[in-house]
Amino acid sequence: MNIKRRPIWFASLLVAFAASGCEWFADPSPEVVRVTLVGEAESFMLVTSTEFIAANNEAGDMSVQLFAADTTVISFPFDRSWNIEAEQRFFLLAAPVDSSAVQVQVRVFLDGDKDFDRSVNAVTEDPVRYIYLFNQQILQDFELL
């Protein structure tokens, strides 16, 4: 009688391990990035891209080279999603259209999980920047003297 129970118990254990182990093999890369912006400005410029490279110089300052980008003038509140499944990267730059300073609440979600949530004071000279790279290296840009 113990012999018949052992295969059932073993099969139950295998099913439990298989069910919990499926997450080990799931792809952790995000598919969708969602951006929400709330502020008081009448219009705001938004630059977004999934085709870019990022590099740090010797001082640690990051520069971004955009290969393709969308530039739009938006109004608040703003809520939009982008598919980043293929590129696995996202660049956002947001600034007031005029020279005024604007308080903006910026939220970025990756597959529904909050990744960025800050209230910032945005001006044309110091825009809101958000860069996301999944499993991609930021290049090091050194100048030889």
pLDDT one-digit tens code per residue, 108-122: 998 888 888 889 888
- Residue 89's alpha-carbon distances to 31, 53, 78, 94, 129, in angstroms, are 10, 9, 21, 17, 14
DSSP conformation class of 44: E
For the chain, percent of residues with pLDDT exceeding 90: 19
Whether the ω angle into residue 28 lies within 30 degrees of 0, i.e. cis, is no
User: What's the pLDDT at 22?
Assistant: 53
Mean pLDDT, range 30-41, rounded to an integer? 87
CATH number for domain 32-141, candidates 3.30.160, 2.60.60, 1.20.120, 2.60.40: 2.60.60
**Whole-number CA gyration radius for the chain:** 23
- Residue 104's alpha-carbon distances to 68, 69, 119, 123, in angstroms, are 25, 22, 6, 10
Question: What is the pLDDT of the chain when averaged over all its residues?
Answer: 78
pLDDT category at 78 given cuts 50, 70, 90 is very high
User: What's the pLDDT at 142?
Assistant: 45
Q: pTM (2 decimals)? A: 0.70
Place of tokens 């600034």: 95
